[in-house]
Structure 1
Amino acid sequence: MTTITDRDALPQQRNLRTELPGPKSRELATRRAGAVAAGVSSVMPIYVARAQGGVVEDVDGNVLIDLGSGIAVTTVGNSAPRVVAGVQQQVADFTHTCFMVSPYESYVAVCEKLAEVTPGDHEKRSALFNSGAEAVENAVKIARYATGRQAVVVVDHAYHGRTNLTMALTAKAMPYKLGFGPFASEIYRVPTSYPFRDPEGMTGEQAAQRAITSAEKAVGADQIAAVLIEPIQGEGGFIVPAPGFLAALSKWCTENGIVFIADEVQSGFSRTGKWFATQYEDVVPDLVTTAKGIAGGLPLAGVTGRAELMDSVHPGGLGGTYGGNPVACAAALGAIETMMAEDLPGRALQIEQIIVPTLKEAQADTPAIGEVRGRGAMIAIELVKRGTKEPDAALAGAVAKKCHEQGVIVLTCGTYGNVLRLLPPLSIGDDLLREGLQVLTQALASTAG
């Protein structure tokens, strides 16, 4: 197997050689302004030359600590050896035939792996696509086709993508939906479980009943094709529902012939300390959507579900020219092998044991930290104005900016823009992670006051 040689290895340490952005990044920013649409924005002002493990090196030679993983994509680390080896071999063999024209083994092998690692021991089938939004859109198609119903229920704070249908499924207007309507119809939004902001003492079961009552009043259970939910919400703020919420929703779906779809695009593939976040609640979805961490950085997504649902669609009803591209499939097989061989779910739990105590300690001294939450290597801080639960988006932005200036990549999220989220690659070393957290906690202390 091809590996990264010592000569090519990128040292796993933060190293700032210039101000950020440096001169070469500034030059690229000027070129970008004349070529790239203004609607495409970037969090960091630097331009990347290399990335490996837990660090990113820019074109000026600055090495930054990566606590974002390209939004939960490089879970196995950038340029992971098994991913690199698989991609190199596949590129040499062939780059594309279109599975719908001339199929190939790696597509089948990825679907076999998806059947193995996704929740439940029932018979499963999968279909492969290019992005999380495309996977979600196809899951909705399958649910509607299989049930003969039209309505889809989603929850507050949801994010499901940027296509027309997935914008309708997404809760947050800015920047995802504003000005892009009209949107797809037959989408119904209900309350979710948000323990930090729910009435004190509300249980998961009570939150589920609130959602169910809203859905039954708005549309009626017999009209609903699917309930679509992120088991841990991503863009909405890394919201972990109260125990019992997902199980109660899933049970109601089963009782009413409704397809329960788990959007595991951000929370799947070892990220939360289990292969999939629904496993924390012993919930077995009817359909699971995956993307992001599935292929070590290459574009690939999937819908995996009960065989009778997946096989209900007529031949030709699912697919796409690039869906399940052979190079991306090779990368996915390398990424999944890495997760298994290196026990990356276990590594995510080790990362949690470093991050959460550090942030809890900071919370004790920083009233602006309303809550520390998440699972595994999917952890967030919700920032609020002192003495209240009023969201403080300005503070979140200021803390993130200070981290960026010090060479640590962190991301914000949340319906109110007031959440800092940490998504380190699971290959990051403990010392590097602690250094990144030190920069973050110092930024919190100096900015929050």
Structure 2
Amino acid sequence: MLSAANITNASLNGRRSIAVSGGVVSATGIFAARAANAEVWDVEGKRYIDFASGIGVVATGHRHPRVMEAVYAQLECFTHTAFQVMAYQPYIELAERLNSIAPFSAAAQTLLLTTGAEAVENAVKIARMATGRSAVIAFSGAFHGRTSLTLAMTGKMAPYKRGMGSAGREVFRIPFPLEHRGVAVDASIDALHALFYSDVAPDQVAAIIIEPVQGEGGFQVAPRKLLRHLRHVCDAHGILLIADEIQSGFGRTGRMFAIEHSGVEPDLITLAKSLAGGFPLAAVLGRADIMESASPGSLGGTYGGSPIGCAAALAVMDVIEDENLLERAEVIGARVRSRLTEIARRNDVLTMANLRGLGAMIGFDLVSSSDQRIPNGAAAKEVASRALANGLIVLTCGTHGETVRILVPLTISDALLDEGLSILERALIRPEASA
């Protein structure tokens, strides 16, 4: 065993290669030692600005004082009883607060869980119990999880589905609208009705699931026209509409739920990531009449709705409200968009296109200089690598890895945001132009 003084990123990577399954991949080769708000320090003492937020998890920043205070207070009481054995007040309080902000015109109920994939699985289970049907419709480019059922709904083969066997017989897929790739909204709508004609009858469909802003798919915003049509179709055929808000929810887009930008009411919402400020917690939030369709004992999990996670989430909700983080998300988004627009005008940077997003959930593509319809995933990967070398953590996504996504903590200062954007700007300069 190496002493603390001799621990390096390289030494830990060596140990990792022996001890950890190669199926688990990290976007960087650095190991975190400590973090505060929008900054992380690795085991070698190097400081990084965090534009990833643990894949959108720490919207309230790393170790927000109020979140940590709430967690410490809960630790003094108890850490676990299993809600199914001995219930506890923080679970009830959090469910009540989530129900109070649910974007439904009817009463709401909440189920608390541990992971995003678990939330999606349970949302589908609830939809199947409520409708007595089994089929589910999802979209290309979607990411809903890595479990067997959620993997079937995830719309990206590599690295998530290759070699995993059958994708599930009762999950159907239609194209997500991508105007810059030639997929219009009407084409997606037509594909839905063609699916009903050729593959699955509407009265066999329990739910349609959609991310209001796709995460892994490239931060693609679901057009309002599509969401409204889905609502109409669901109402006409008794299908439930599930909004997967695991990455887009809880303030990231300037609203508590990204679906609110459209004015469309879903029937069920899945939540995780930013919900508990870095502690494992997920939720299914739904109309009470639908949630009540689950039979007693059919839902739950040993660690579902952990008292630590509940305490953290209650504090997160306080922070979002008291620090005006919904408004802050809009300010951050405007600042990032403005700076990226300026960078894209430079004649010495890689070709940038399709700047998009809602609030502080921003993405743009690296594309071929000769044809902006051709994605350049290799360039995006290299930009993230150069940014990391200069102290900025930023992630890529998209069907071809071409999208640079920006997920800063909503508590980041303007100065730190600008510093990070300057690092990103330098990373975007073409190598031959910086030589």
TM-score, normalised via structure 1 length: 0.92
Matched with 1:8 is none
Whole-angstrom CA distance in 2 between matches of 1:326 and 1:448: 54
More moved, 242-251 vs 311-320: 242-251
Look up the SS of the partner of 2:283 in the other structure: strand
CA offsets per residue over residues 47-78 of structure 1, 9 Å max, x none?
Answer: 11111111001111111000000000000001
Matched with 1:179 is 163
Confirm or deny: 8 A CA contact 2:103 2:265 kept in the other structure.
Answer: yes
Aligned partner of 1:412 among 396, 411, 423 = 396
Aligned partner of 2:125 among 141, 155, 164 = 141
Residue 182 of structure 1 aligns with an amino acid whose one-letter code is: S
Aligned partner of 1:232 among 213, 219, 223 = 213
Confirm or deny: 8 A CA contact 2:366 2:402 kept in the other structure.
Answer: yes
Aligned partner of 1:328 among 306, 309, 312 = 309
Matched with 2:101 is 117
Matched with 2:425 is 441
Residue 313 of structure 1 aligns with an amino acid whose one-letter code is: A
CA offsets per residue over residues 348-381 of structure 1, 9 Å max, x none?
Answer: 0010111001111222235621211111111011
Look up the SS of the partner of 2:177 in the other structure: coil
Matched with 2:362 is 379
- Correspondence 1:169 to 2:149: no
Q: How does 1:74-223 map to 2 (within 5 A)?
A: 74-199=58-183, 202=184, 204=185, 206-217=186-197, 218-223=199-204
**1:423–1:76 distance in 2 versus 1, CA, 3 Å:** same
CA offsets per residue over residues 377-400 of structure 1, 9 Å max, x none?
Answer: 110111111131111111011111
Matched with 1:356 is 337
CA offsets per residue over residues 276-311 of structure 1, 9 Å max, x none?
Answer: 111110011100000000000001000010111100
Confirm or deny: 8 A CA contact 1:300 1:323 kept in the other structure.
Answer: yes
Aligned partner of 1:342 among 295, 302, 323 = 323
- Correspondence 1:61 to 2:49: no
Whole-angstrom CA distance in 2 between matches of 1:302 and 1:211: 31
Q: Mark the runs of 5 or more structure 2 residues left unpaired by the alignment.
A: 1-5
Look up the SS of the partner of 2:430 in the other structure: helix
Confirm or deny: 8 A CA contact 1:273 1:375 kept in the other structure.
Answer: yes
Whole-angstrom CA distance in 2 between matches of 1:397 and 1:323: 36
Look up the SS of the partner of 2:234 in the other structure: helix
Matched with 1:291 is 272
Q: Mark the runs of 5 or more structure 1 residues left unpaired by the alignment.
A: 1-21
Q: Would you identify which runs of 4 or more consecutive aligned residues in structure 1 move more than 3 Å?
A: none
Matched with 1:401 is 385
| Alpha-carbon RMSD | 1.5
Confirm or deny: 8 A CA contact 1:195 1:241 kept in the other structure.
Answer: no
Whole-angstrom CA distance in 2 between matches of 1:181 and 1:110: 38
**1:351–1:447 distance in 2 versus 1, CA, 3 Å:** farther
Aligned partner of 2:353 among 370, 382, 387 = 370
Confirm or deny: 8 A CA contact 2:366 2:403 kept in the other structure.
Answer: yes
The alpha carbon displacement at 1:447 in A equals 4.1
Whole-angstrom CA distance in 2 between matches of 1:216 and 1:28: 52
Residue 138 of structure 1 aligns with an amino acid whose one-letter code is: N
**1:385–1:317 distance in 2 versus 1, CA, 3 Å:** same
Q: How does 1:251-290 map to 2 (within 5 A)?
A: 251-290=232-271
The alpha carbon displacement at 1:117 in A equals 2.1
Whole-angstrom CA distance in 1 between matches of 2:178 and 2:317: 31
Look up the SS of the partner of 1:241 in the other structure: coil
Confirm or deny: 8 A CA contact 2:121 2:149 kept in the other structure.
Answer: yes
Confirm or deny: 8 A CA contact 1:237 1:415 kept in the other structure.
Answer: yes
Q: How does 1:11-30 map to 2 (within 5 A)?
A: 24-30=8-14
Look up the SS of the partner of 1:154 in the other structure: strand
Whole-angstrom CA distance in 1 between matches of 2:66 and 2:93: 16
Residue 282 of structure 1 aligns with an amino acid whose one-letter code is: G
The alpha carbon displacement at 1:216 in A equals 1.3
Residue 311 of structure 1 aligns with an amino acid whose one-letter code is: E
Confirm or deny: 8 A CA contact 1:238 1:414 kept in the other structure.
Answer: yes
Confirm or deny: 8 A CA contact 2:174 2:188 kept in the other structure.
Answer: no
